Amino acid sequence: MIIFTSICANYTHKARTLAESVKRHMPDETFFVCLTERQMPENVRSEYFDDVILSKDMWDGNFNRYIFKHSIVEASTAVKGQFFIYLMEHFPQENQFVYLDPDCYVYADFTELKELLERRPIVVCPHLLQPGNIDMELSSAAHGVYNLGFLAVNRSAEAERFIKWWAQRLYLFCYDDIRRGIFTDQKWIDLAPCFFDVEILKHRGYDFATWSLLDCGMTKEDGRYYVKGDPLRFIHFSGYGNVIEKCMEDWLPEGEHPFRELYREYVKMHEENNADQVSETAWSYGTYDSGEKIDDKIRKLYRGDYDVMFGVEDPFGLSDQELRRMLGRRQDGKWRKVAESVKRDGMKVTFLKIVEHLK
């Protein structure tokens, strides 16, 4: 089994914490980091990382052109589909591939998941397993039914078909743009059970998170943790800090609680792994080659102007001023038909054809 996470350098401390937990409970599994930075920073290291691979080094196509349109919030999710493809192609001896967000922490071996992947091609976890938390039901409707802090596939034709579909969607539309029905890589997976043979994992011990807290039934017995009887496998500490603390205040009973105990322990490890202040690392794709900071408004204009996007070889070699002059002009270049097709047909466009044209 290969387990991997995807980060920019400022999340290295989270990846260190995750990797340590993976190696403690699954020492024989391989742990990779997909890193979206221009070069390999010296402080992106851990004895628990089997390897760190730069996104640009595994990318098929013009990576600078692709990543320029993404903010740092979107960047690490935008490369996940292609990294699954990379792992499947470069590690033919491996048959199980698992993605975990860097803010996850493993508490036990993935016994059930390993068995499940022997017979099921694709495994996802829903945010919610019971009705009642209306806030999270609304959030799931907006951000996605399934949480993409976890995704597992095996080596099969069905899984490869799914990953290629997902990667193609992310190639064009991996944005934090809820008004358009898009939320990074996650919202697309709402469609996956309609198109593919997907197992919806309803084991409460996987991907436990803040959205699971209301009436969660977490217990501790003989040093082990359970969620309504299911043994705890990993917690997703999404919203680390103020968000988690607010959710605990709102959704947990007063007094000591197993989740509060686990969160305190996680905070300690999280901060120890940030002793070198790696969280302060500036994103190398946040500036042009000149060092000028890229305005997020320019990124959004760029992603909507196909003539510029696929006419400029390396946008990082330009500037806000140069791109502002280029963007928004009448699209009468060679990409006009593609751009008009995307705008006109939206989701009805054949993505395979578009991707073939855009390379």
A 10 A CB-CB count for 185 gives: 26
CA distance 98 to 231: 19
Cβ neighbours for 170, distance < 8 A, ≥ 6 positions apart: 77, 78, 80, 81, 82, 185, 188
Q: What angle do CA 327, 330, 334 make, to 5 degrees?
A: 95
Residue 168 tokens, joined: 């193609």
Mutual angle of helices 12-25 and 258-272, in 10-degree steps:
120
Q: Tokens 């989270």 identify what position?
A: 14
CA distance 170 to 185: 6
Question: Max Cα separation, the chain?
Answer: 69
Residue 31's φ and ψ, nearest 5 degrees, are -120, 120
Q: Tokens 């740092």 identify what position?
A: 72
Domains and CATH numbers, the chain: 2-280 (3.90.550.10), 290-358 (no CATH)
Provide the pLDDT for residue 9: 98
pLDDT one digit per residue (tens) for the chain, 359 residues: 999 999 999 999 999 999 999 999 999 999 999 999 999 999 998 999 999 999 999 998 999 999 999 999 899 999 999 999 999 999 999 999 999 999 999 999 999 999 999 999 999 999 999 999 999 999 999 999 999 999 999 999 999 999 999 999 999 999 999 998 999 999 999 999 999 999 999 999 999 999 999 999 999 999 999 999 999 999 999 999 999 999 999 999 999 999 999 999 999 999 999 999 999 999 999 999 999 999 999 999 999 898 999 899 999 999 999 999 999 664 454 445 555 555 555 544 444 455 544 44
Helix (H, G, I), strand (E, B) or coil at 309: helix
The dihedral sign for the CA sequence 184, 117, 113, 132: positive
CA distance 289 to 335: 26
**65-to-76, 317, 335 alpha-carbon distances in Å:** 16, 11, 15
CA distance 47 to 36: 20
Helix (H, G, I), strand (E, B) or coil at 237: coil
CA distance 241 to 248: 11
Q: Tokens 């945010």 identify what position?
A: 127
Confidence (pTM): 0.90
